Structure 1
Amino acid sequence: MLKISRVAVAVVSSALAMGAAFAEERASADDAMKLLDKAEAHFKAAGAEQAYADFSSKDKGWQDRDLYVFCFDKDGVALAHGANEKLIGKNLSELKDADGNLFIGAMVKTGLSGGGWTDYRWANPVSKKIEPKSSYAKPFADGICGVGIYK
């Protein structure tokens, strides 16, 4: 009986440690807000064109775990995208999430109205799975920029 208890304790301890390690890989809402604040400061200092290029580049430090910066104009055209630079220049206003929701338009509207969170389901670039996501977007010049977290 004592051996089973030790094994059970070891299994539970391993599961808890793995859960904690996975939790550390995921960024928090606070982490997202800090990255967006940093992006806003860079945008103001470097200018829109340079900032958009930097946010979209994989080697400029604008990706952290499952976080990345994205920017859209008021019509939903991608100006920067830290997870998929192939989206830049495309109008994504009609893009639907895994549940069929037009989330880009909602995000742009929320961002242009002063900022806020938009919930949707999207592919996590780290896990490659469809997961619940919430992105905070706020106004940048004539569009919005944002950062999202996977839940």
Structure 2
Amino acid sequence: MTRRLVSALAIAVAVALPTAVSAAEFGTAAEAKAMIDKAAVTLKDGEAAALAKFNDAAGGFRDRDLYVFCFDSKGGAFTAHPNKALVGSDVRNLKEKDGSPLGEKLFAAQQEGTVTTVQYKFPRPGGSDPVPKETYLIKVGGQACGVGYYK
């Protein structure tokens, strides 16, 4: 009987372990929310310094697939993003893979001092198939910033 119990436990651990490891590969909703809250406080302390931190890989605002991105709340130009090619481009030009206006959704959702959410489908890093993703977005002064996580 003990032998069966040990075998059953070994099988259960073998099945559960890959799920636990892969879940840690990506950020969670709670982690994304905590990061956007931290970003809002950092923006309130000084916009230029905050944007420098958000754009710096070692600035404390990147964790696995979680990162802060920002755009000018009036003009729409990206001011912070890990993909440096996007900085300076208009957020409203972003599209989902199916052509849906992702950037326009983000631009329209910004609200001063209030975290809003935008849901869409986007490929995971290294992937090509769109999967559900949600972004927490907040406007602080002249910046609208977001952190998205994959559901």
TM value normalised by structure 1? 0.83
Give 1:9 shift: 6.6
Deviation digits for residues 116-140 of structure 1 (CA, Å, limit 9, x no counterpart): 1111122323xx1243211010112
SS in 1 for 2:68: strand
RMSD: 2.3
Tell whether 2:36 aligns with 1:39: no
Please name the residue that 1:135 is paired with. 135
Cα separation, 2, equivalents of 1:143 and 1:43: 8
CA contact (8 A) 1:119 1:135 kept: yes
Alignment length, in residue pairs? 144
SS in 2 for 1:36: helix
Which amino acid in 2 is paired with 1:131? V
Equivalent residue runs for 1:1-151 within 5 Å: 6=7, 10=10, 12-45=12-45, 47-74=46-73, 75-81=75-81, 83-112=82-111, 114-125=114-125, 128-129=126-127, 130-151=130-151
Which amino acid in 1 is paired with 2:66? L
Cα separation, 2, equivalents of 1:9 and 1:100: 47
Give 1:25 shift: 2.3
Deviation digits for residues 97-146 of structure 1 (CA, Å, limit 9, x no counterpart): 12221112211211236431111122323xx1243211010112123111
Gaps of 5+ in 2: none
CA contact (8 A) 1:135 1:149 kept: yes
Gaps of 5+ in 1: none
TM value normalised by structure 2? 0.83
Kindly, what percent of the aligned residue pairs are identical? 33
